[in-house]
Structure 1
Amino acid sequence: MQQFIEFATNHWDLFLALLIILLMLSGTTLISALRGIRQVGPEEATQLINHDGGVVIDVRDDKEYAEGHIINSLHVPMASVQSRIAELEKYKQKPVIVSCRSGARSSTVSGWLRKHNFENVANLKGGVMAWQNAGLPLSKKKSKK
């Protein structure tokens, strides 16, 4: 511990840079937690989909979605979520998993859905990138809009 304190004191600029990087990496998760948004990993999301009838809402833009998306996900680009909220009302009683590329945009949209009384909303932690890294399949078929 003494060496750590000595290092931090002698190299305060490196230590400060480390703290800033760690805060940036955990920023999305921290902000989501402060908003009361549940974070789920790919495995838990799969369980919500397969066992609880969960619905995945993909908020990426058209090009990103066409490159590959979670099978049977609803494509509702972030820019159109608020104008399409009435259309999403039918999913209020189901678990809703919001996804994007990395989890940042979906965290924001999860917050919007919570404000519209969607009680069972979860953000896909790490987004579609985490889904792929977990070895789960993506589809390139047209979406259900």
Structure 2
Amino acid sequence: MDQLIEFSINHWFLTLALFSVIALLSWTMISPGTFGAEGVSPTEAIGLINHENAVILDVRTDGEFADGYILNAVHVPQSSLSDHIKRLDKYRSRPIIAACRSGNRSAKACAILRKHNFERVYNLSGGVVGWQSAGLPLVRK
């Protein structure tokens, strides 16, 4: 044990790096549930859309949305989601799949939806980037 302490003191940078890696790995394992939404892959999202009439909620900015969006997506930017929650009431009985560019803003959107008692809320894993990587199309005007 004394050798471990001595090593840690003599090689403080390596010790710090080790604890940083452990902390980051722990965060990535914990974070998907942090915002209270289950992640779904693009393939799983298609299943929810086709079999359970799920709604895609695109929470990207207006500019990102204009560059291309998932067919039939409802667009409400994440920054104003709390102000427009009433607009989503008609989808309360359906699964809602939140999507952004990469999955971070949509996780926050899922937390907002959960806070407003939406029950079946999912986060599109990888966001629109993951959707495209899976070879799935976007609507472009």
Structure 1 stretches of 4+ moved >4 Å: none
- 1:87-114: CA deviation from partner (whole Å, max 9, x where unpaired): 1000000010000011110001101101
Partner of 2:80: 80
- Which residue is equivalent to 2:45? 45
RMSD: 2.2
1:15 aligns with 2:18: yes
Q: State yes or no: 1:68 paired with 2:68.
A: yes
Distance 1:120 1:104 in 2: 18
After TM superposition, the score normalised by the length of structure 2 is 0.82
% identity of equivalent residues = 44
Between 83-92 and 132-141, report the one with greater CA deviation.
Answer: 132-141
Is the contact made by 2:98 and 2:121 (CA closer than 8 Å) also made in structure 1?
yes
**TM-score, scaled relative to structure 1:** 0.80
- In structure 2, the residue matched to 1:95 is 95
Code of the residue aligned with 1:140 in structure 2: it is R
Q: What is the aligned length?
A: 132
1:125 aligns with 2:125: yes
Unaligned runs of 5+ in 2: 1-7
Q: Which has the larger radius of gyration?
A: 2
Q: Could you tell me which runs of 5 or more consecutive residues in structure 1 were left unpaired when the two chains were aligned.
A: 1-8
Deviation at 1:71, TM superposition (A): 1.1
Counterpart AA for 1:139: V
